[in-house]
Structure 1
Amino acid sequence: MSSKSEESGTVGQMAPNLSATKLPSIKEMLQLFFFYHKNENNKFTRDSATLTACNVLAIWEKAGVPTRLKKHVEEDRQFLLAQHEQGRRGLIGAVDKATLIKEAKVQKKQERLKRIRERESEPINSLKTQLLLSSSTTTSTDSDTSISYEIVTAGPSTAKPPARKRGQVELVDSHLASSLDATKLSDRKAAIVITSTLKSAGSDPMKFTVNRSSIRRQHQKHRKEIAESLKREFKTRRSFSYFGVRARN
């Protein structure tokens, strides 16, 4: 027989733990709550309630009972309803294999998509890195030249430092502009590709006029020339067709 110190009102005998194979009833939850509140020296009701909730949530999570997210698994719903019936029929079994397989497929798909995105972004990131390295190297060279100039001409001076010369060689012609249009490269990406190609070929990109603005101007010029050529060809064909019809008449 249990002593009166181990009982609490209508709850009955206090329990130090919950059943591992059945969902806890309200009475069992209260028995565990009073056990924590009286035997574990928890002076505050909130602490006892927190410990009780942790135990209940652990069993609900094992059983797959939804606590925050709304699930629509019919099997879990039926098990939850059965646990509310008298006798609480049914037992908590092993982890649902179908759910594990489904979650593994979703994770595998996400990893595959991540690898595809990384593989597609590698060429662009490599070109960006090469362009940044080229810019930093050029800036470093200009800084060294400026320092040497100041050492040689020590003392006050009003002379302005020599301005860096821009590239004067136009690289983008009508053929290259047509190729860029065919590959549907933007002006910015085209500048990155051309700069990297010049470096790989052993040429100094600073000798050429390669930037987004110059490529855009060449694109517009090339498209204008093509449009004018098509207009002239169309007018010539119309003239030949007109004179041919009159000759037959």
Structure 2
Amino acid sequence: MLANATRSRTELYLIGSSVSELRGSKLPSLRMALGFFLHLHLELNETIRHSSAAAVTELAKFWRKARIPMRDHQNCQTKLEQAFEEWRLLKKNKARKSSTQQAREAAFVSRLEDLFDIAHADALNTMSIQEDKDFLLAQREKGRRGSMVSVDETLACKEKRVSEREQQTLKRRQQTENIQQIEASTAELTTSGSEISAAEDVDSEGAVGGSRTQKRKGGRKAVVTPELAAALDRTKVSDRKAVFVIAETAKSLGMTIDQLALNRDSVRRLRAKHRIHSSASIRAKFQSDVPFVVHWDGKLIPDLIGKEKVDCLPVLVSGKEVLQLLTVAKLPSGTGEAQASAVFGAIEDWGIPGNI
């Protein structure tokens, strides 16, 4: 009686028992794949996603041994999870005795010993060995005819030599590309150096033919204008990315980058400088000698320096021929007290509390 009760707790509906290890000389069947998945999910309490990933990793060992190309790992997981969902729905309705339920159970059971096929869609065309193709076709038949034997040592050595040759070829190609990049950089520096005036060459030593050990100075031409700084701010381009974009744009226009003051620090300083000047210009043009009406409206919008949404409060004033945005305050919360503090702070910052 006790033995029967224990067996009933370990038995899996329609499948039989779980599988804690995949073994055999055939490619795994649907019963083996689901049995191993359910062992991880139900007995070891792993998540569905983790269980499917671990199960596909074990299944892949058999397919690699058979030298048959597989689908993408993600697609294999999806197929296994779909099979699990089908089994779960059948189990959920197992108390029903309708003809539909019985037909679905019978169809599911009839597929349990079939191959859990995760071969690549173009596997038969990409495989070069006919014996491997025949094995895959036989495994797709009912009963999964055929089996895998020990590793073909001759073929394994041949594949190892091919892999080593491919790695050596890739290494040589990378070395060639590195040499070409160095030569291109050297040529660019040489071209830039030839543009230095003869007067500068003479000044380095005071006479022609002297030792020219003076270092070439960097560019001095600033390229970040107020309009460009505003465009970079509006499009949320970082300082580092701005350097790359400006450099490539200058090259496409035929300019020499060495003449430009172009680096991350200079771009950051100029952008900050232009923001300060722009703010000061707006305040200087603001007419603060007329009565104003204050307007504000809180909004949840994406943060300028992140992807999360934050409470922002645009504050505007309007009067005779005047419409001015004072601030877009980032609030710690959307409460009325926080909004009131932000509105009053903006009015005081602009020095117009007596005009409201």
Name the TM-score, length of structure 2 as normaliser: 0.33
Q: Which of 1 and 2 has greater Rg? A: 1
**Higher strand fraction: Structure 1 or Structure 2?**
2
Structure with more relative contact order (C-alpha pairs < 8 Å, separation 6 or more): 1
**Higher helix fraction: Structure 1 or Structure 2?**
1
